[in-house]
Amino acid sequence: MPTFRPPPIAPSEITPPEVHAARRRFSAGMALGLLGAALPAVANQETRRRFDAVIPGRYPPLEDKPTSYKDVTTYGNFYEFGPDKDSPVRNAHRLRVRPWTVAVEGEVKTPRIFDIEDILRWAPLEERIYRFRCVEGWSAIIPWVGFPLAELIRRSEPTGNARFVEFWTLADPEQMPYVRVPFLDWPYIEALRIDEAMHPLALLAVGMYGEHMPKQNGAPLRVVVPWKYGFKGAKSIVKVRFVEQQPPTVWTKAAPDEYGFYSNVNPDVPHKRWSQSHERRLGEFFKRKTLPFNGYADQVASLYAGMDLRRNF
C-alpha cells in the first residue's frame, strides 16, 4: 500500500497574521466566504441555546492569544478531503452533518447508537483554549468547545476488559472523494488507552471559536488530546470501539517507524525526516521551542511514569 507522507510546512505557506475574531461573532466567519459555506447549519434552537451558554474552560488556564479563526480553518489536514493543506476547506462542503449517529461497540455492557443531538445534551459545553501541535512542525492556539471525553466513556459503560478505545472516522467516498485513493487504510482509526481518554484534558469537541465545528475541522464532533500530536484527534467520528489489546491505528499501519501509538509531543525525539525541537505557529514567521507534552507535562506526565518515551513514541 502506498504511504502518503505530507511535506513539512514552508514559510511561504503561512497565512499572514490577522486580528483574532471576537468570540461568537458568527458574522465574521460568514464574511470569509468559503468558510461560511463550510460551517454546518445549526440543527435547531435548542442546540443554538447550548452554544450561547458555553462556559469558560476551568482546566488548565492558558494565557496565549488564540490563533486567528481564518488560519485555523483554512490550513490543516483532513485527508479524506485531499492531501493539501487547503484541501479540507475546498472540499469539505460535501460533508453532511445531519443526521449523524455514533455507534458504540466492543467491550461494553450493551452496544448502542447515540444521536448527535443527544450527545449535545450530555453535559454543559465548555470553551477550552488548548495548544495544538502538528507532527509536521506547525502549531496553533485554538478555543475548542466541547465536554470531557470521559463523559462519552462513562455513558458507553465499558467492561473490565476494555483497556483501549478506538475512534472511527466516517469513510464515505460519496462525501469524501479521497477515500477512493488508497494512500491510507481507510477508515481513519485512532486510539487511546482508557486512562488517557479519561484524563480531564481530553475533550470531545463539538465546536470551536464559540460556534459549531466547521466541516473542514472535523464536524460534527472530534477528539482533542492536547498533549499529543494533532493526528491523534479523530475527526467526524461515527464509531467508538472498546478493545482489550492495543489496536493498530491508521498511521501506525502506514508508517510505524515514523508514527508511534502514543504520539506524545516529545521535542527530544525527532521524526524520521525532520526535527521536532521547534515549531512554527500559524500566523507567525519565526519558530519557537516545542514544549514536552505540548506544555501539559504537569498534568499528564504521570500517565507515562516508568515508560521509555523514546521507545514508546
Residue 41 lies in a domain: yes
181 contacts: CB under 8 Å, gap ≥ 6: none
Give the β-pairing of 55-56 and 126-133: parallel
237: domain CATH number is 3.90.420.10
196: number of Cβ within 10 Å: 22
With cut-offs at 50, 70 and 90, classify the pLDDT of residue 25.
very low
Residue 299 lies in a domain: no
Residue 226 lies in a domain: yes
Residue 310 lies in a domain: no
- Least-confidence region, from 7-21, 215-229, 272-286, 287-301: 7-21
Residue 121 lies in a domain: yes
With cut-offs at 50, 70 and 90, classify the pLDDT of residue 239.
very high
Whole-Å CA distances, 228 to 66, 90, 176, 283: 19, 27, 26, 21
| The predicted structure's pLDDT at residue 43 | 52
**pLDDT for residue 32 is more than 60:** no
Buried b (16+ CB within 10 A) or exposed e, 148-174: bbbebbeebebeeebebbbbbbbbbee
Total domain count, the chain:
1
Residue 29 lies in a domain: yes
- Residue found by looking up cell 458507553 in the block: 156
**pLDDT for residue 38 is more than 60:** no
Residue 58 lies in a domain: yes
Residue range of the domain that includes 41: 11-131+140-262+280-288
> Are residues 247 and 191 in contact, defined by beta-carbon separation less than 8 angstroms?
yes
Q: What span, in angstroms and rounded, lies between the C-alpha atoms of 118 and 307? A: 38
- 83-136 pLDDT per residue, tens: 999 999 999 999 999 999 999 999 999 999 999 999 999 999 999 999 999 999
Residue 234 lies in a domain: yes
Which residue spans within the chain are E strands per DSSP?
Answer: 55-56, 101-106, 112-115, 126-133, 138-148, 164-169, 189-193, 203-208, 211-212, 222-224, 237-243, 278-281, 288-289
Would the pTM count as exceeding 0.85? yes
